[in-house]
């Protein structure tokens, strides 16, 4: 799972069904530290493990607050 690459549609689903514009905003907001994609043939892919780790960290932040 550490090296598995997932497309933006899968990332958006994992993040709660967000829009492509929301994903773009998250990528361009340094405060969120959203994982950067790997670009292959002009398409964006994310490392699944990085996205899951980011989601887990966000969930832990919510539990603390």
Model confidence, pTM: 0.87
**Per-residue pLDDT tens digits for 34-63:** 999 999 999 999 999 999 999 999 988 777
Q: Where are the domains of the chain?
A: 5-64
The pLDDT score that the predictor gives to residue 63 is 77
For the chain, give the number of residues.
65
Output 32 or 1, whichever has higher pLDDT.
32
The pLDDT score that the predictor gives to residue 65 is 62
The pLDDT score that the predictor gives to residue 3 is 87
Report how far residue 16's alpha carbon sits from residue 30's, in angstroms, rounded to the nearest whole number.
Answer: 20
Query: Which helix (DSSP H) or strand (DSSP E) does residue 5 occupy?
Result: strand 5-7
Query: Which helix (DSSP H) or strand (DSSP E) does residue 44 occupy?
Result: strand 43-47
């Amino acid at each position: 799972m550490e090296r598995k690459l997932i497309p933006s549609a899968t990332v958006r689903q994992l993040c709660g069904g967000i829009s492509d514009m929301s994903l773009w905003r998250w990528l361009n907001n340094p405060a969120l530290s959203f994982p950067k994609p790997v670009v292959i043939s002009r398409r964006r892919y994310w490392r699944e493990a990085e996205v899951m780790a980011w989601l887990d960290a966000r969930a832990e932040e919510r539990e603390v607050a």
